[in-house]
Amino acid sequence: MKYSYISHLYCPKCETTYDHTKVNQLCECGAPLLVAYDLEELSKNLTKAELLVRTASLWRYHELLPVVDEANVVTLGEGMTPLLDMPSIGADMDIPNLFMKDEGIIPTGSFKARGAAVGVSKAKELGVKELAMPTNGNAGAAWGLYSARAGLKSTIVMPVDAPKITRNEVAVSGANLHIINGLISDAGKVVGQAVKEYELFDASTLKEPYRIEGKKTMGLEIAEQMDWKMPDVILYPTGGGVGIIGIYKALTELKELGWVEGKLPRLVAVQAEGCAPIVKAWQEGKQESLFWENSSTIAFGINVPKAIGDFLVLDAIYKTEGCAIAIEDDAILQEQEKIASMEGAFVCPEGAATFVAARRLRKSGWIEDNQVVVALNTGMGIKYPETVSVDVPVIEKGDKI
């Protein structure tokens, strides 16, 4: 029995195929490459029941991941994050079957650990020694730390406004850290230059084909945790969009394997009002988005003015009859407090945005009575301490309360 059923890489735009045993970046046409598996063979060799006794990490799905030799797996125990029921806030927004997939309960405290675990493992397997990437914070933290575990060198470029804690994570990993007075798109240009000059592996979002496979496991887990019945709606905070592309790819592969049946969930891309290129493109029925000028939001992880995989995000929305919706920062902050005080979960602003989106889509009727809805929380609230203001007087020893 093979550890991985990877067969090759392919371009979703021009359909060129590539050899997965070689180092690859983008397709020659400029589009991101995707990983193909021999699903027919796998369907004959693995049953859902066999998964049950496996380790509670994303590596339980190793046949559907690109790492060929288990010895190359670089892991900090990531994956199989909780799928929590949200009865109180669900009742509050009239969605009795509301669930949250909590991606805060993972190494480095954000879903970026999934992409880093699989991306770094595959880079190691392919002989990469040094990689570089721009980041809004969490991805850099994850790739810096997983690179350290793998023994790879990393260069990380981060906007000066990215969450300070993620800066600390990159620094403590021993990565080569640079801070830039600009956005992630500016950081990307610096990385592009460095990649050329020093012949580094470019680990920028979707410029390497494997992080998406790591993020795909969110979709695999949701399906398994729901006993292979798919929800009606999945809401995802969308910046670079790899999470939503990954979930779509996962559910499509599970259908092909015959492990799930019926219609795919309607996928909802949730963006911030101050940076909503996908929402705009979707509203206009476009296949690609335009660069969003002067983007700004407290939900820093989704401050991505133009995603290289935008066409894949939009395709996933169209194919599943989903939608895209933009949320204002103050609504996000209100919802964040509500989720904590009603459900005990301190989610990140990006995660809170998906709950606001669910609330509005229910109100408008787009989410129907008693539908099963999964909101993705992509990271821990504690990584963004400035979103909570605490104003409590200090008492002295012996004071009474």
Interface residues for a copy of itself in 224-253 (CB under 8 A)?
A: none
Least distance to a copy of itself from the beta carbon of 254, Å? 20
When binding is defined by CB under 8 A, the residue of 174, 287, 288, 334 that contacts a copy of itself is 174
- How far CA 249 is from CA of 1, 254, 266, 372, in Å, comes to 23, 9, 13, 20
When binding is defined by CB under 8 A, the residue of 45, 258, 287, 385 that contacts a copy of itself is 385
Least distance to a copy of itself from the beta carbon of 215, Å? 18
Q: Does 388 bind a copy of itself (CB under 8 A)?
A: yes
Kindly indicate which of the ranges 40-48, 180-188, 232-240, 249-257 contains the residues binding a copy of itself, using the contact rule CB under 8 A. 180-188
Structure tokens at 96: 């009795």
When binding is defined by CB under 8 A, the residue of 150, 275, 357, 361 that contacts a copy of itself is 150
Structure tokens at 335: 């919802």
Residue type, 225: Q
Structure tokens at 41: 């063979």
Q: Does 151 bind a copy of itself (CB under 8 A)?
A: yes
Structure tokens at 318: 């169209």
When binding is defined by CB under 8 A, the residue of 82, 130, 280, 296 that contacts a copy of itself is 82
Number of alpha carbons in the 13 Å side-chain half-sphere of residue 151: 5
Kindly indicate which of the ranges 26-34, 91-99, 192-200, 202-210 contains the residues binding a copy of itself, using the contact rule CB under 8 A. 192-200
Kindly indicate which of the ranges 5-13, 18-26, 321-329, 390-398 contains the residues binding a copy of itself, using the contact rule CB under 8 A. 390-398
Least distance to a copy of itself from the beta carbon of 283, Å? 30
Q: Does 157 bind a copy of itself (CB under 8 A)?
A: yes
The sign of the torsion formed by the CA atoms of 115, 121, 124, 129 equals: positive
Q: Does 91 bind a copy of itself (CB under 8 A)?
A: no
Nearer residue to a copy of itself within complex by CB, 180 or 357: 180
Residue the block writes with tokens 């991505």:
304
The CA-based angle 136-140-144, given to 5 degrees, is 170
Site for a copy of itself in 97-116 (CB under 8 A): 102, 104-109
CA–CA separation, 2 and 66 (whole Å): 11
When binding is defined by CB under 8 A, the residue of 53, 227, 284, 285 that contacts a copy of itself is 53
Least distance to a copy of itself from the beta carbon of 276, Å? 23
- In sequence order, which residues have a C-beta less than 8 Å from that of residue 273 and are 6 or more positions away? 297, 326, 327, 328, 329
Q: Does 192 bind a copy of itself (CB under 8 A)?
A: no
183 contacts 295 by C-beta, under 8 angstroms:
yes
Sheet holding 34-37, edge to edge: 17-18, 6-10, 34-37
Site for a copy of itself in 322-351 (CB under 8 A): 336-337, 340-346
239 contacts 379 by C-beta, under 8 angstroms:
no
Polymer length in residues for the chain: 401
Q: Does 180 bind a copy of itself (CB under 8 A)?
A: yes
CA–CA separation, 248 and 241 (whole Å): 11
Q: Does 71 bind a copy of itself (CB under 8 A)?
A: no
